[in-house]
Amino acid sequence: MTDPERLSKDTGNSLAALLLQAGARERPSAAVLSRTTRAIAITATAVAAAAVVKSAGSASAASVGTTSSAGATLGVAAVAKWLAIGALGGAVAMSSLQALTVEHGPQSKRATPAASTNAAVSKSEKRSTKAAPGVSEPIASAEPSLPDRATLVEAPKARSAEPVTIEPTKPAVPERAESALLAAEVHLVEQGRAAVQRAAFAEAIAQLEPYERLFPRRQLLTEVLFLRMESFNRLGNVERARALATQLLTLGVVGRQAAQAREVLGP
Contact between residue 125 and residue 138 where contact means Cβ atoms under 8 Å apart: yes
Specify the 3-state DSSP secondary structure of 115.
helix
Give the list of residues 6+ apart from residue 141 with CB closer than 8 angstroms, or none: 128
The secondary element (H helix, E strand) that includes residue 33 is: helix 30-62
Q: Supply the minimum distance, in Å, between the C-beta of residue 148 and another protein.
A: 5
Site map 93..132 versus another protein, x via CB under 8 A: -------------------------x--xx--xx------
Give the list of residues 6+ apart from residue 240 with CB closer than 8 angstroms, or none: 228, 232
Residue in 183, 188, 184 with CA at minimum distance from that of residue 205: 188
Length of the chain: 267
Q: What is the DSSP string of 134-181?
A: TSPPPTT-SS--PPPHHHHHTHHHHHHTSPP---TT--HHHHHHHHHH
Candidate list 139, 164, 194, 243; residue touching another protein; CB under 8 A: 139
Specify the 3-state DSSP secondary structure of 79.
helix
Residue in 227, 147, 153, 232 with CA at minimum distance from that of residue 195: 227
Q: Kindly indicate which of the ranges 11-19, 107-115, 219-227, 229-237 contains the residues binding another protein, using the contact rule CB under 8 A.
A: 11-19
Candidate list 112, 141, 160, 219; residue touching another protein; CB under 8 A: 141
Contact between residue 94 and residue 34 where contact means Cβ atoms under 8 Å apart: no
**83 lies in the binding site for another protein (CB under 8 A):** no
Site map 45..74 versus another protein, x via CB under 8 A: x-xx--------------------------
Q: By rule CB under 8 A, what count of residues binds another protein?
A: 59
**198 lies in the binding site for another protein (CB under 8 A):** no
Site for another protein in 177-196 (CB under 8 A): 179-180, 183-184, 187
**86 lies in the binding site for another protein (CB under 8 A):** no
Cβ nearer to another protein, comparing 132 with 161? 161
**159 lies in the binding site for another protein (CB under 8 A):** yes
Site for another protein in 203-262 (CB under 8 A): none
Cβ nearer to another protein, comparing 50 with 200? 50
Q: Supply the minimum distance, in Å, between the C-beta of residue 97 and another protein.
A: 17
- Sign (positive/negative) of CA torsion 212, 213, 219, 224? negative
Residues of this chain that bind another protein (CB under 8 A): 1, 3-4, 6-8, 15-16, 18-20, 22-29, 32-33, 35-37, 39-41, 43-45, 47-48, 118, 121-122, 125-126, 137-141, 143-148, 151-152, 155, 158-159, 176, 179-180, 183-184, 187
